[in-house]
Amino acid sequence: MKISPNAIEHGVKLLADPLRNKGTAFTEVERDALGLRGLLPPHIHTQDEQMSRFLEHMRKLPDALEKFVALSALHDRNEALFFRVVCDHVDEIMPLIYTPTVGLACQRFGHIFQRPRGMFISINDRGRIADILRNWPRKAGIIVVTDGERILGLGDQGANGMGIPVGKLSLYTACAGIDPAICLPITLDMGTNNEGLLADPYYVGLRRRRVTGSAYDELVDEFITAAREVFPDVIIQFEDFANHNAFRLLEKYRNKICTFNDDIQGTAAVALAGVLSALRVKGTTLSDEKFLFLGAGEAATGIADLIVAAMEAQGIATEEARQHCWLVDSKGLVVKSREGLAAQKQPYAHDHAGVADFLSAVNTLKPTAIIGVAAVGGTFTPEVLRAMADINARPIVFALSNPTSKAECTAEEAYVGTDGRALFACGSPFAPVPFQGKTLVPRQGNNAYIFPGVGLGAIACGATRITDEMFLAAAQTLADYVTPADLDQGALLPPLTNIREVSAHIAVAVAEVAFERGLASRSRPENMLELVKAHVYDPHYPAYI
Ligand code: NAD
């Protein structure tokens, strides 16, 4: 990026603009031309040196939350350096800017607050949302929006939920190279029912209980209309809405605008990729498996729906495919005779006697795979794991609930509880586990493998819709990146270190589907990968002069 010195009124403004600031890395020529002389100490550091300085400081901080605060401050003053730090140390930094640390950061949001990022729109803003969005200084290409009602597995965090859209958009840039200048995090403050927050003097949101019903729907509708009016091609990603709204909103908007819900669809794709890897180890196909989910919410039914879609793509009838997926919710096994089941659970309510608890469901149904997405910690007990090991030579065990305190079991518990035979993936990061002379590597079923590439593909081709077929293509692409060496050490997903390459190929797969289905607004390029790469942001500093 070359910018004219005339475009900058004074060097101080440049230093205060996180999208352009380079701090002590401004060159001699830039310092003279851009009015920076004297505003910086004389020695010029390279970006690599700045990165080492930051990491040295950050690594000495006593805990993850302090590190989160330091990273946020860096993000606020120098985005390129922040993204160099994240991209070059993705394994170390991702758990600090996203799960599990971001959960704690949301709970403490008001207490660690330094400066706002993104936009807050509240229920008091009815009738003026388009005007508010015009306060944003740039054109937004992708919005991540939450109403804070179901933050990770931590429940209602109200306006403090802003940590999630901010973190998620950082991952869009870090993992796929989406330009941070087009990213807009938004929190819809609909109130909160979290009594602790309502009583907290430092809480950043409205002091009122959540609005529901038509007042809620009208605000969301005005927001969607306004966002499309102010930023016509914007992609809107719904994030961490409670499931009574998440499914409704997805159904309402998915065929009208370019939108998706990562909790439902992104989770589904990463879990399916893990399942496809497990099948390679077992030498089976999807129709040989029986999946039992603990939880019947966004993640569970999203994953089940995509498993069904994958089976349909293999020529299996929908009804037959659904028979391979079973759900256990807080009231026990989801069966046909249960009344008042939410719409998303009904396809999986099979003709079967009721079963009250998860262990009994395992013993009764004899699943080949258990997938934990109920956000209740410790529910894959030693008895559950033992039962799975007795039923299966290689039980598939995915403990996907977040944050770590909500995980159904740890990696070590999964391996020890199944004599090292579990094909395991987790929602929170766990360290490799030494087991009987081998080191087993549990990889995180992190949505960050999927949504950044989906977003990049959608941006590159100007997608008008984001479909389940695109998520299926993303899952298959991700699974293709798992090597025999990964499988040999028990890893069902690729390492995060080559995530940008994976994301670029997911973007290609998504764009291919868009072009094939007439859902792309650009003309088809000769080389899809080149098109995708042309949209990738490089966090190395540009020369301004
Ligand atoms: P959700 O609120 O939509 O669903 C939770 C479900 O769990 C509900 O169906 C509820 O009935 C059920 N449940 C609650 N208590 C239960 C109990 N004691 N026994 C059985 N079922 C119970 O939430 P969600 O979006 O589906 O997310 C669930 C969890 O999965 C969260 O911890 C979330 O962080 C995690 N998650 C992980 C990933 C990932 O690892 N990639 C992705 C998405 C969600």
Chain segment 298-346, per-residue pLDDT in tens: 999 999 999 999 999 999 999 999 999 999 999 999 999 999 999 999 9
Q: Is the dihedral of CA 349, 355, 360, 365 positive or negative?
A: negative
Q: Is the CB of 142 under 6 A from ligand 1?
A: no
535 alpha carbon to ligand 1 midpoint, in Å? 34
Superfamily of domain 265-448: NAD(P)-binding Rossmann-like Domain (3.40.50.720)
- Our answer to whether residue 541 is catalytic in this structure is no
Contact predicate 250/238, CB 8 Å: yes
The predicted-structure confidence for 36-76, as pLDDT tens digits, reads as follows 999 999 999 999 999 999 999 999 999 999 999 999 999 99
The pLDDT of residue 7 is 52
Residues present in the chain in total? 545
The pLDDT of residue 429 is 85
Residue ranges covered by each domain of the chain: 11-96, 115-257, 265-448
Does residue 1 surpass a pLDDT of 80? no
**What b/e string do you get for 119-136 counting C-beta neighbours within 10 Å, with b at 16 or more?**
bbbbbebeeebeebbeee
| 115-257 and 265-448, same CATH topology | yes
Pocket test for ligand 1, best of 373, 405, 454, 492 (most atoms within 8 A of CB): 373
Q: What is the mean pLDDT of the chain?
A: 96
140 alpha carbon to ligand 1 midpoint, in Å? 31
Distance CA 283, CA 377 (A): 31
- Our answer to whether residue 168 is catalytic in this structure is yes
Spell out the SS3 assignment of 14-71.
HHCCCCCCCHHHCCHHHHHHCCCCCCCCCCCCCHHHHHHHHHHHHHHCCCHHHHHHHH
Distance CA 534, CA 545 (A): 22
Contact predicate 487/507, CB 8 Å: no
- The percentage of residues in the chain with a pLDDT greater than 90, rounded to a whole number, is 94
153 alpha carbon to ligand 1 midpoint, in Å? 7
The pLDDT of residue 5 is 45
Is the domain spanning 11-96 CATH 1.20.1370.30? The answer is yes
Pocket test for ligand 1, best of 263, 292, 426 (most atoms within 8 A of CB): 263
Query: Which run of H or E residues covers position 56?
Result: helix 47-60
Tell me which CATH code domain 115-257 carries.
3.40.50.10380
187 alpha carbon to ligand 1 midpoint, in Å? 22
Does residue 9 surpass a pLDDT of 70? no
Q: Is the CB of 267 under 6 A from ligand 1?
A: yes
Does residue 4 surpass a pLDDT of 90? no
Catalytic residue among 22, 67, 168, 406: 168
The pLDDT of residue 455 is 98
Beta bridge partners of 423: 396
